Amino acid sequence: SNIPKIVILGAGYGGILTALRLQKELNYNEADVTLVNKHDYHYITTHLHMPAAGTDKAENARVSISKLIDEFKIDFVKSTVVQIRTQDKKVILEDGTLSYDYLVIGVGGEPETFGIPGMSEYAMNIRSINSVRLIREHIEYQFARYKREPHRTDYLTFVVGGAGFTGIEFVGELADRVPELCKQFDVDPQLVRIVNVEAAPSALPGFDPELVEYAMQVLTKKGVTFRIGTAIKECTPDGVIVGDGEEIRSATVIWAAGVRGNRLIDEAGFETMRGRVKVDEFLRAPSNENIYIVGDNSLILNPEGRPYPPTAQIAMQQGVTCAHNLVASIRNQPLRKFEFKNKGTVASLGKGEAIGLAFGKTYKGRVAAWLKKLIDLRYLFIIGGIPLVLRKGKFF
């Protein structure tokens, strides 16, 4: 048939928003839309610090894709993309091949290790449902192990690399979980150490200094030790090497020091910066008018010429514009330029505590924590309406 084929790779923030908007805007038989994702569920990446620390169930951070999309309008394929072949407009899956007229790439980024020795071998990442289950079980296992080998205090030392928003949100949750674990495993809380190591001269570099100060106070009070201005140089089976060669012995290293683009993008032959493609004003890859890139694999410069940080917020907005432009292309209508509308940033510091910057105002403590809840509920509403809010929403 000559119905255009749209293939969306990845059902993360960018991919799912593109799919949902296409299913709403396209008329019957205007295009064949296929959504490909590694798992049959969408995960709410912005919640993953909680199941990682064990303060919430992994189940609450994922939603079955069949509950989100209308399978009469969109074909869902559960598979892993192994190669993108732009020359012959094909995508190679682990178990088949798809051809496309329009491609949307939204497979998300990868942890950036900066080539630090041992990092990909010995550290864990907060990245997917599978990766956070591993972190949670690993942490619990260390408490159990310690009871058999009480001289091994490194079992009770938890190193978090990077005090960006991911590292900060995770140490907040972990500090909340520790008292419960100590009780469960009969461990003296004094022996547990959470060490957040940050290379830059400040935690949350570039964020509002007053809020950063507040966050560090709250987290320090909860038992987090900060090592600021200290770079991790190596990760080993025994812990990490920092600064000038100091060793922090630890059986648990969580690497939260940034993201880069997916290796699929580099391998496809696009020109990239740290694995990201600088897309045009309509979100298309350079010299590939039929390929859109959304989310952590795209690079967009702000008016000052600096890249916008990769967030769920920008990925969602890109999804909306991307769907609009796909429909416009099919109908030979003019495309719409993408403009990021920054609604602000709110980060959790554990139960009942958060910091935020929105509408030119700063928020902290309980008010910020409520704001964070509202943002989370709003997202559930956008992708799954009231039923999803009721099933997965946390209201207190």
User: Which own/partner contact pairs does 93-100 have at CB distance under 8 Å and 24+ positions apart?
Assistant: 93/36, 98/7, 98/34, 98/36, 99/5, 100/5, 100/6, 100/7, 100/290
Using rule CB under 6 A, residue 231 touches ligand NAD: yes
The number of residues that bind ligand FAD (CB under 6 A) is 31
80 binds, among ligand FAD, ligand NAD, none (CB under 5 to 8 A by kind): ligand FAD
Q: How would you label 317-343 residue by residue, b for 16+ Cβ within 10 Å and e otherwise?
A: bbbbbbbbbbbebbeeeebeebeeeee
- Min. distance of Cβ 287 from ligand FAD in angstroms? 22
Stretch that binds ligand NAD, among 160-168, 180-188, 244-252, 265-273 (CB under 6 A): 160-168
Q: CA-CA distance, 128 to 111, in Å (whole number)?
A: 11
Q: Which of residues 40-99 bind ligand NAD (CB under 6 A)?
A: none
205 vs 387, beta carbon nearer ligand NAD: 205
Q: Which helix or strand (DSSP H or E) is residue 324 part of?
A: helix 312-330
65 vs 195, beta carbon nearer ligand NAD: 195
Start-to-end Cα distance in the chain? 52
- Min. distance of Cβ 80 from ligand FAD in angstroms? 4
Tell me how crowded residue 107 is: count the other CB atoms within 10 A of its CB.
29
Using rule CB under 6 A, residue 172 touches ligand NAD: no
Residue 31: name the closest of 7, 5, 8, 9 by CA. Answer: 5
Using rule CB under 6 A, residue 358 touches ligand NAD: no
Residue 272: name the closest of 240, 233, 307 by CA. Answer: 307
Using rule CB under 6 A, residue 45 touches ligand FAD: yes
Stretch that binds ligand NAD, among 97-105, 263-271, 320-328, 340-348 (CB under 6 A): 340-348
178 vs 312, beta carbon nearer ligand NAD: 312
User: Which own/partner contact pairs does 198-203 have at CB distance under 8 Å and 24+ positions apart?
Assistant: 198/162, 198/163, 198/167, 198/226, 198/227, 198/228, 198/229, 198/230, 199/162, 199/229, 199/230, 199/231, 199/232, 199/257, 200/163, 200/228, 200/229, 201/228, 201/229, 202/228, 203/163, 203/168, 203/228
Collect all residues with Cβ–Cβ distance below 8 Å to 188 and sequence separation of at least 6: 182
Using rule CB under 6 A, residue 307 touches ligand NAD: no
Give me the residue whose beta carbon is nearest to ligand FAD: 12
- The interaxial angle of helices 13-25 and 312-330, nearest 10 deg, is 30
Q: Which of residues 309-338 bind ligand NAD (CB under 6 A)?
A: 309-311
Q: CA-CA distance, 355 to 84, in Å (whole number)?
A: 40
187 binds, among ligand NAD, ligand FAD, none (CB under 5 to 8 A by kind): none
Which of 55, 166, 196, 318 contacts ligand NAD by CB under 6 A? 166
Q: Which of residues 162-201 bind ligand FAD (CB under 6 A)?
A: 166, 169
13 binds, among ligand NAD, ligand FAD, none (CB under 5 to 8 A by kind): ligand FAD
Active site residue ranges: 169
Q: Which of residues 14-43 bind ligand FAD (CB under 6 A)?
A: 14-15, 36-39, 42
Binding mask 72-111 for ligand FAD (x = CB under 6 A): --------xx------------------------xxx---
Q: Which of residues 177-216 bind ligand NAD (CB under 6 A)?
A: 197-200, 205
Residue ranges in contact with ligand NAD by CB under 6 A: 116, 161-167, 169, 197-200, 205, 231-232, 256-259, 309-311, 345-347
